[in-house]
Amino acid sequence: MPLVMSARTSEIFEFNKMMLLYVGTLLIAILALIRFTVYRDVRKHVYLLPLLGFLGTIFLSTSTSVDPHTSIFGHYGRFNGGLISIIAYVVLSITALQIFDKKSINTLLKVSLVSSFIVILWGIPGKLGVDLSCILFTGQYTNACWTADFQPAVRMFSTLGQPNWLGSYLAIHFFIALYFVSPYFLTLINKEVLMSKQKIAFIILTVYGLCNLMGIWFTQSRSSLLALAIALVICAALAISKYKARFFQPLYLTLMLSIVIGIAALIFFPKQLLSTSVRPQEGFFVTDSSEIRKIVWQGSVALGMRYPLLGTGPETFAYTYFLTRPLEHNYVSEWDFIYNKAHNEFLHYFATTGFLGLMMYLVVIIGTLAVIFMQLKKTSIERLDFWFYLSLLGAYLTILITNFFGFSTSTIQLYFYLIPILAITYSLKVHIVETVQFTQLSRQLKMFYGILVFLLIVGLYMITRMYKADMLYAEAKVLIAQDDHQQASVKLVQALANHYEHVYEDKLSGTLAQLAFISSFDDPQTTSELTLMSQQYNLHTISESPYNQQYYRTQAKNYYLYYQSSRNIDDLLQAVKATEAAIKIAPTDPQNYHTLALFYTVLSQESTVKADQAAYAEQARESVRNALRLKPYYVEAQELLKSL
C-alpha cells in the first residue's frame, strides 16, 4: 500500500492508497467469510470489545454529524478517518485475528520491511535533485514536477506524500527491523558463532537500519525523530527492567498514567499548555510549525467543548474548525490554509467525535498497550518472543507520539489497528476444528456463496466508479485552470454520474456560472438556463454541507457573475447575503470581510439612489476595517481602504 500512487487522480498519494485499502478489505472480508464456512473456527479476544465500542461511537457521531456525507466517506482527497475507512480497518483487524500465526506474521513483516526499503530508495534520488516520481509521471529527470510546497531535495517524502508521513512510516519500520536483528544479538550474547547466511542477513538488516535512520533524517520530521528517541528509551528501560522484575510493574503503570494524564491535561488546561506568543507581523515571514499547531489545538479544544458529546462528526474538521478558529491564526504565515485535521489525532477525535469518541479511542490505545505489556511480562528476555513484543511496543509508541503532533494517514492507521492483533496472534497456532467438502455443499451454503459473489461484484463496481469519478474530477480541475469551462462542466457531470461528492457539485456550480457569464454576450436563453442550473447545484451543495464556508463563497462568486450577465442589483445583494453567511461560519476569517467590502464597493458605485450609495460606501469601509481588525497587516484590505 505505501508504494501506490497515481498522477491521474486529484490527490496523488492518499486517495490511491485508500482505494487499494477498500479493494483489499472487500476481498479479504469475502474470503474470510468463506473460510468460516469451511473451518467453523472463530477466535475471540477481549480486545475486540473496545475496538467495536470505538466503531460504535463513530457510527453515533456520524448519525449526528453536521455533514453526514463527509463523515461517511471522509474528507475528500484523504478519506482516511471516515466511517467507511474505520469499518475497513476493524474488518481487517477481526479477519487478521482469525488467520494470523507466527509464520504468517513473520512473512507479513518481512514484506513490509522490503516495501519500506523500496520507499527509502525511491525517495533518495529526489534528495539529490532527480525525483523518481517526476520521471514516472512526466519523464523529467529533475524535481521540477513538484510545486514550491513539495521540495524533495529539502524534505524527502518519497511515495508517502508528505515528509512527516514518511517519517512516521519509517519510525515504525525501524522497530520492525529491530525485531529481525534481535536473533543475531541473542546469538552474540550467548557467545554462539554466526553462520555465513546469518552474517549476510545481519549485514543487510544493519544496512537497512542505517538507511532507515538516514531516511527519517532526510524528512526533517521533528515529531518522527522525537518519537523514535522516546520509544527507544522506553523500550531500553523495559528491557533493562526485565532483569529485575520488581521494576516492571512501576514502569508499566508510569507509562499508562503518563498517557492518560497528558491527554487529560491537554484537554482540561488548554490555556496553560497551548499558550502562544504569535503576534501580527508585517511583510513576508514563516511561522514555526509548532506555533501554528498550538493555535490549531486551541481551536480544536474549543470546538470539542462546543460539541462535547459526539463532536461535529467524523472528518468534518476542515469545515467546523472555522467556528472556533482563534484570532491568532491570522497572524501566522499559513493564515489562509485549510486545515482538514487538528494536527493532533487525540484532539481531532475530541473535536469531531466528542468526549465519547476520544474516550473510546483512548480505551483502544490502553487496550493495545495492555495486550503488549501482558505478553512482555510472560516472556523472558532471552527469548525471541520478548523482542518481538518489545518491537511492537516501540512501533506502536512511535504512532502515538507522531499522531500527537500530527495526524494519521491510511498507511499509519493500518499499523495502528494491526499491531495489537499481531501481539495477540503471535503465539497462537492455526486451529482447524471442522471442514466441509465443497462437493457436499448444502443449498443454503450455495446461496450464501452466491450472495458473497454478488456483494463482491457490487463492491468492486462501486469502488471502480468512485475511482473513475475522481479521475474525471482531476481532469476537470486541469480544464478549469485552462479556462476551458465547457469541457470541464462535461467532466464534472460525468463525475457526479459515477459517484456523488458535493466537492464535484461545487465545482460544477462555479463552472456553470462562468459559462452563463460567457454566453450572456450572445445567447440570453442559454444564460438563463445555465444560471438556473448553477443555482440549483449550489443550493443542493449547501444543503448537503451547510457548515462549509467555501460553498457560500462559491455562491457569492456565482451571484457576482450572474450580476455581470444580468446587471440586476439584486444579484449583488444576494452575493452580500452569501458572504454574510460565510462570516457566520468563519467569524475570524478576514477574507470574508474583505470580499464583503468589495461587494459593498460595487453596490455603492452601481446604485442609482444617492442615499444608498453613501450607505453602501460606509458599509464597505466598516467591512474592510473588520478585516484589518482581524488581520492588521492584510495588504489587500489596506489598499482597498485607501481607495475608499
* C-alpha to C-alpha distance for 208 and 206, rounded to whole angstroms: 5
pLDDT tens by residue, 233-270: 888 878 777 656 545 555 555 555 565 555 555 544 54
Confidence of residue 641 (pLDDT cuts 50, 70, 90): confident
Output the pLDDT for position 155.
Answer: 85
The residue among 531 and 280 whose pLDDT is bigger is 531
Can you say whether residue 307 is alpha, beta or left, with left for phi > 0 and alpha for psi between -120 and 50 degrees? Answer: beta
608 closest CA partner among 565, 559, 572:
572
Output the pLDDT for position 372.
Answer: 92
* C-alpha to C-alpha distance for 32 and 98, rounded to whole angstroms: 8
Confidence of residue 437 (pLDDT cuts 50, 70, 90): low
What DSSP character marks residue 247? G
pLDDT tens by residue, 625-636: 999 999 888 888
Residue 365 has pLDDT above 90, yes or no: yes
Q: Following DSSP, what letter does each residue of 26-86 receive, concatenated?
A: HHHHHHHHHHHHHH------TTHHHHHHHHHHHHHHHHT-SSHHHHHH-STTT-TTSHHHH
Output the pLDDT for position 147.
Answer: 74
The residue among 286 and 499 whose pLDDT is bigger is 499
Q: Taking residues 340-350, report their average pLDDT.
A: 91
Output the pLDDT for position 524.
Answer: 86
Query: φ, ψ for residue 277 (rounded to 5)?
Result: -110, 20
Residue 8 has pLDDT above 70, yes or no: yes
Confidence of residue 37 (pLDDT cuts 50, 70, 90): confident
Q: What is the CA radius of gyration of the chain?
A: 28
Output the pLDDT for position 441.
Answer: 62
The residue among 138 and 545 whose pLDDT is bigger is 545
Q: Taking residues 258-284, report their average pLDDT.
A: 58
* C-alpha to C-alpha distance for 412 and 164, rounded to whole angstroms: 11
Residues of the chain with pLDDT > 70: what percent?
88
617-622 contacts, C-beta under 8 A, 24 or more apart: 617/644, 620/644, 621/597
The residue among 281 and 491 whose pLDDT is bigger is 491
Output the pLDDT for position 255.
Answer: 57
- Contact present, 621 and 634 (Cβ < 8 Å): no
Q: Taking residues 450-474, report their average pLDDT.
A: 92
**Most trustworthy range by pLDDT among 9-13, 192-196, 406-410, 473-477:** 473-477
Name the average pLDDT for the chain. Answer: 86
The residue among 478 and 194 whose pLDDT is bigger is 478
Confidence of residue 407 (pLDDT cuts 50, 70, 90): confident
* C-alpha to C-alpha distance for 123 and 367, rounded to whole angstroms: 35
Output the pLDDT for position 251.
Answer: 55
Residue 3 has pLDDT above 90, yes or no: no
Output the pLDDT for position 533.
Answer: 94
Q: Taking residues 358-376, report their average pLDDT.
A: 92
Output the pLDDT for position 275.
Answer: 59
Residue 22 cell numbers, joined: 477498500
Q: Taking residues 71-79, report their average pLDDT.
A: 89
Angle at 401 between CA 396 and CA 405, to 5 degrees: 145
Residue 432 has pLDDT above 80, yes or no: no
Q: Taking residues 115-121, report their average pLDDT.
A: 91
* C-alpha to C-alpha distance for 618 and 624, rounded to whole angstroms: 10
Confidence of residue 93 (pLDDT cuts 50, 70, 90): very high
Confidence of residue 348 (pLDDT cuts 50, 70, 90): very high
Residue 616 cell numbers, joined: 453602501
* C-alpha to C-alpha distance for 542 and 274, rounded to whole angstroms: 34
- Contact present, 412 and 169 (Cβ < 8 Å): yes
283 to each of 333, 385, 593, 613, how far by Cα in Å?
10, 58, 21, 34
Cα 427–chain centre separation: 33
pLDDT tens by residue, 198-237: 677 778 888 888 888 888 998 888 888 888 888 888 888 7
Q: Taking residues 88-114, report their average pLDDT.
A: 91
Q: Taking residues 148-157, report their average pLDDT.
A: 78
Provide the 10 A C-beta neighbour count for residue 226. Answer: 17
Output the pLDDT for position 281.
Answer: 67
pTM for this structure? Answer: 0.90
pLDDT tens by residue, 611-622: 778 888 889 899
The residue among 191 and 16 whose pLDDT is bigger is 16
Query: φ, ψ for residue 612 (rounded to 5)?
Result: -70, -40
Output the pLDDT for position 521.
Answer: 84
- DSSP H stretches of helix in 280-409: 289-306, 317-320, 345-378, 384-405
Q: Taking residues 474-484, report their average pLDDT.
A: 92
160 to each of 112, 118, 122, how far by Cα in Å?
14, 12, 11
**Most trustworthy range by pLDDT among 28-32, 204-208, 375-379:** 28-32
* C-alpha to C-alpha distance for 624 and 398, rounded to whole angstroms: 46
Confidence of residue 433 (pLDDT cuts 50, 70, 90): low
Output the pLDDT for position 412.
Answer: 93
Q: Taking residues 326-355, report their average pLDDT.
A: 89
Residue 163 has pLDDT above 60, yes or no: yes
Number of helical H runs and strand E runs in the chain: 25, 0
Confidence of residue 43 (pLDDT cuts 50, 70, 90): confident
Output the pLDDT for position 325.
Answer: 92
- Contact present, 517 and 564 (Cβ < 8 Å): yes
* C-alpha to C-alpha distance for 397 and 415, rounded to whole angstroms: 11
Output the pLDDT for position 500.
Answer: 94
The residue among 410 and 239 whose pLDDT is bigger is 410
The residue among 119 and 254 whose pLDDT is bigger is 119
Query: φ, ψ for residue 220 (rounded to 5)?
Result: 55, 35
The CA-to-CA distance between both ends of the chain, in Å, stands at: 56
* C-alpha to C-alpha distance for 563 and 540, rounded to whole angstroms: 21
* C-alpha to C-alpha distance for 172 and 575, rounded to whole angstroms: 50
Q: Taking residues 52-58, report their average pLDDT.
A: 95
Cβ contacts of 73 within 8 Å, gap of 6 or more = 79, 82, 83, 84, 501
